[in-house]
Amino acid sequence: MKKISLLLVILLLAFSSVQARNLTLSARTGRYVVEIALDRNPPILGDNRIDIIVKEMSGQPVTEAQVLINYYMPPMPRMAPMNFRTMAKPKGDKYRAEMKLIMNGPWVIAVKISDGGKMTTAKFHIEA
């Protein structure tokens, strides 16, 4: 009986990780813990929604900052620069934006957080 329930738990865990829908990443900056979640996992060509959570080191959410998303492909030979900016809109305890990825390959997401005149940047790397 014990073995069977353990097996069930393992199966459920395996199933839920396969079902995990969002791509989530987190980074620490000097001031904040920044978490991002993309609705597409893996990211796709076209529109990908990004939710950003900014927290103080204490865990307190930062809800009144300006959050700019600068997403770009690292410079590549013989390729026009692909560099885009969009402001994220406050959404409860989060900020939300859409990123249109126009090419497969590596993208950098630089999340620029301005609060009280100071700007902090958290960088993330994804593959579309």
Please give the residue ranges that form the binding site for Cu ion (CB under 5 A). 73, 76, 105
Of the candidates 104, 109, 120, 115, the residue with the CA atom closest to the CA atom of residue 24: 109
Residue 36 or residue 73: which is nearer to Cu ion going by CB? 73
Q: How far is the CB of 110 from Cu ion (least distance, A)?
A: 16
Q: How far is the CB of 83 from Cu ion (least distance, A)?
A: 11
Residue 33 or residue 110: which is nearer to Cu ion going by CB? 110
Q: How far is the CB of 107 from Cu ion (least distance, A)?
A: 9
Tokens describing residue 51: 């939710």
Burial of 124 (0-12, 13-18, 19+ CB in 10 A): buried
Residue 96 to residue 94: CA distance in whole angstroms: 7
Residue 101 or residue 122: which is nearer to Cu ion going by CB? 101
Residue 118 to residue 128: CA distance in whole angstroms: 31
List beta partners, residue 48. 99
* Residue closest to Cu ion (Cβ): 73
Q: How far is the CB of 26 from Cu ion (least distance, A)?
A: 25
Residue 30 or residue 81: which is nearer to Cu ion going by CB? 81
Residue 35 CB contacts under 8 Å (≥ 6 apart), including other chains:
24, 25, 26, 52, 53, 55
